Amino acid sequence: MKVYNTQSKRKEEFVPLVPGKVSMYVCGPTVYNYIHIGNARPMIVFDTVRRYMEHKGYEVNFVSNFTDVDDKIIAKANEEGVTSKEISERYIAECKKDMEGMNVKPATTHPLATQEIDGMIEMISTLMEKGYAYNVNGTVYFRTRKFSEYGKLSHKNLDDLRAGNRSLLVTGEDQKEDPLDFVLWKPKKEGEPYWESPWSDGRPGWHIECSVMSKKYLGEEIDIHAGGEDLIFPHHENEIAQSECCNGKVFARYWLHNAFLNIDNRKMSKSLGNFFTVREISEKYDLQVLRFFMLSAHYRSPLNFSAELMESSKNALERIKNAVSNLGYLLDAAAAGDMTEAEQAELANVNAFEAKFDEAMDDDFNTADAIAAIFELVKYANSSVNSGNTKAFVQNVRDEIIKLCDILGLIAEEKEELLDEEIEKLIEERQAARKAKNFARADEIRNQLLEKGITLLDTREGVKWKRA
């Protein structure tokens, strides 16, 4: 599997630190409002990376934080006259609902910055002891000049950046030794949430959060660190500086960044006001359509949001679902029994679509080509699978489409909900079959219900059932 590493600027063979395991950290959102669909891009993209890794047999430890202390959260809390905690808790809950709608799996751990302050104070203390940080009147800064590798991720010309920021130092508006030094800890302002520390009552800078949470939940050296490309500089560059100076180890081996979701070729962002929230989109479309739209482009290519592209994504997804549903009808009508020899030989052709899918995904997660492979399979199913095929063969083709879609987090199978009466009726029929010693039919009904997520419990008081 090849992944593009922002740091080396090339595709590299992916070799995990521990065979069979992947440790992965994705910078999460600052929670002061509903997430917009630009924020949804890294969520969908890196959830797909995770799913593909799992498909390859890796056990993935996936950590993604919520930034729940920040100027914008405080401003929103003041605006509404409530606590910052109330704002962050509200929007974390809303974000999780959106994630569920987009079929983004919950992370193994979703740490909150405010729950990790002790770890941050500890890391800042270590940086102070090692001479990488300094305190000016309660504000602690990182001393970027002391880290000779500073800039290795973003490949920026640091001298130019320094020159651009020097004016502040000259006018004395800034107390930093160097324009590129950044805040690790800052004193509270009136009415702000704060924590006690050796330097001042205050709160951490943004960058230190991720260094600390990544270390705590994944270890000092991890496989993958990811986020949107706007995080490369300064956020990820600063994370590297903090972590490597503190731990004396390589922080992350592969750096993955998604390109922007744009509108009229400009980055969608809260500050520009040119955004749609995921919630707004969900009023018009199933969020599966949004997911399909995001995956129809390579994650490192800019993607322009438009109503036309959403419509074509909707139609494309519909085509896949229709094929799966038609195969379902064929399945119900097909003859039971083993696959014919011809069908067994044909299976090789079916498997070739998965090989093509894997080849695309192995090439730095080329989801656009992976979707093309699914469409080839759909086309094959529509044209070559018919009522002359056995159940086993039809099932195989249907399962294959569902499986490939699932790796991309797309749900291809329309799960019809059974009504309570229908369930009760089937249970009655099963009881009758059992009485008549027709155990094959009784089992068939049990399995049929199971497929729809209904489990049966035979109790002394009779048969009870529950939905999964």
Select from ligand AMP, Zn ion, none the partner in contact with residue 228, using the beta carbon and a kind-dependent cut-off of 5 to 8 Å. ligand AMP
Amino acid at 238: N
391 - beta bridge partners?
Answer: none
Select from Zn ion, ligand AMP, none the partner in contact with residue 48, using the beta carbon and a kind-dependent cut-off of 5 to 8 Å. none
- Please give the Cα distance from 287 to 232 (Å, whole number): 28
Residues 18-47: x where in contact with ligand AMP by CB under 6 A, - otherwise, as a string:
---------x-xx-------xx-xx-----
- Please give the Cα distance from 243 to 225 (Å, whole number): 13
- Kindly tell me which of 305 and 380 has the beta carbon lying closer to ligand AMP: 305
Select from ligand AMP, Zn ion, none the partner in contact with residue 260, using the beta carbon and a kind-dependent cut-off of 5 to 8 Å. ligand AMP
| Neighbour tally for 142: CB within 10 Å | 27
Q: Which residue is nearest to ligand AMP (CB)?
A: 228
For residues 346-383, b (16+ Cβ closer than 10 Å) or e, as one string? beeebeebbebbbebbbbbbbbeebbebbeebbebbee
* Of the candidate residues 22, 27, 404, 412, the single one contacting Zn ion (CB under 5 A): 27
* Of the candidate residues 22, 31, 99, 210, the single one contacting Zn ion (CB under 5 A): 210
User: In the 8-state DSSP scheme, what is residue 116?
Assistant: -
Q: 178 and 143 in contact (C-beta within 8 Å)? A: yes
Say whether residue 260 binds ligand AMP (CB under 6 A).
yes
Tell me how far, at minimum, the Cβ of 38 lies from ligand AMP, in Å.
3
- Kindly tell me which of 272 and 436 has the beta carbon lying closer to ligand AMP: 272
Tell me how far, at minimum, the Cβ of 38 lies from Zn ion, in Å.
16
Closest CA to 88 of 109, 65, 64: 65
2 - beta bridge partners?
Answer: 13, 363
Tell me how far, at minimum, the Cβ of 41 lies from ligand AMP, in Å.
4
* Of the candidate residues 210, 213, 232, 268, the single one contacting ligand AMP (CB under 6 A): 268
- Please give the Cα distance from 416 to 411 (Å, whole number): 13
Say whether residue 339 binds Zn ion (CB under 5 A).
no
Q: Please give the residues from 276 up to 335 whose contact with Zn ion meets the rule CB under 5 A.
A: none
Residues 199-228: x where in contact with ligand AMP by CB under 6 A, - otherwise, as a string:
----------------------------xx
Token pair for 414: 């329309």
How many residues touch ligand AMP under the rule CB under 6 A: the total is 17
**Local structure of 360: helix, strand or coil:** helix
Tell me how far, at minimum, the Cβ of 206 lies from Zn ion, in Å.
8
Listed in order, strand segments (DSSP E) in 188-265 are: 202-204, 222-228, 252-258, 261-263
Select from Zn ion, ligand AMP, none the partner in contact with residue 210, using the beta carbon and a kind-dependent cut-off of 5 to 8 Å. Zn ion
- Please give the Cα distance from 18 to 16 (Å, whole number): 5
Token pair for 408: 């991309």
Could you tell me which residues come within 8 angstroms of residue 68 by beta carbon, excluding any fewer than 6 positions away? Answer: 31, 84, 85, 88, 89, 92, 112, 113, 114
Say whether residue 110 binds ligand AMP (CB under 6 A).
no
Q: Please give the residues from 229 up to 258 whose contact with ligand AMP meets the rule CB under 6 A.
A: 230-231, 258
For the chain, the residue count is: 468
How many residues touch Zn ion under the rule CB under 5 A: the total is 2
- Kindly tell me which of 18 and 75 has the beta carbon lying closer to ligand AMP: 75
Sign of CA dihedral 351, 353, 359, 363: negative
Residues that bind ligand AMP (CB under 6 A): 27, 29-30, 38-39, 41-42, 227-228, 230-231, 258, 260-261, 267-269
Residues that bind Zn ion (CB under 5 A): 27, 210
